[in-house]
Amino acid sequence: MTPTTIPDNPASFPTEESSFALDGPAGKLEAISNVAEPAEARRGTAVICHPNPVQGGTMHNKVVTMVERSLRESGLDTLRFNFRGTGASEGSYDEGNGESEDLAAVAAWVRRVRPGDALWLAGFSFGSYVTIRNAVRLKAAALVSIAPPAGRFALTTVEPPQCPWLIVQGEADEVVEPQAVFDWIDSLPVTPELVRMPETSHFFHRRLMDLRGAVKHAVQPWLPPPRHE
């Protein structure tokens, strides 16, 4: 289904799947929002970040869209966006620094239009690096990290979040070295929930539905209260 195009910088969270642009620090940021089914809706909104745009990553990546679906089916409203220089988003790639400011701008908009919601952050690969390094700063209520790029970006210098945290890592990842991820997790002063998926590649080929199930199962205890209590 094609999202409904609405005016940029909406003053409220759209009530149906919608595409629009938000003001970012380097220009417009292309975004797509979606809403949970009313009977399942929780008082939370998840912002989901995509893999490295230099390698073709966008908010339409299949892992990103599956994570979006998983969180929406769990009752969260969702917002995906393209980092600077990706798709219709303005600016240029900045190795995670400018992208962190993009995320901060998007999070600020969510908090403005949904002041009572828990803010969840989720990301895949490079997107997980950006969300992990900003989780404390943005006071994330929960964090979902898919194939975090340990060994490729400086995750060891990032302050680990204290919020509930799920990491999903394929054991046959050909892009991110799985053992580097496991070693990094072992070094953390906090203990995230880790799901190791055997015979699973970086892009979760033929395992996307397993990823969906893993995310939905893990986040269930962390969900905020029903939206319409």
For the chain, the average pLDDT equals 97
- Above 80 in pLDDT, residue 1? no
The model's pLDDT over 108-119, given as tens digits with 9 standing for 90+, comes to 999 999 999 999
Residue 69's CB is within 10 A of a number of other CB atoms, namely 17
Residue 211's CB is within 10 A of a number of other CB atoms, namely 23
CB 76 within 8 A of CB 44: yes
The model's pLDDT over 14-32, given as tens digits with 9 standing for 90+, comes to 999 999 999 999 999 999 9
State residue 31's pLDDT score. 98
Is the CATH number 1.20.840.10 carried by domain 4-221?
A: no
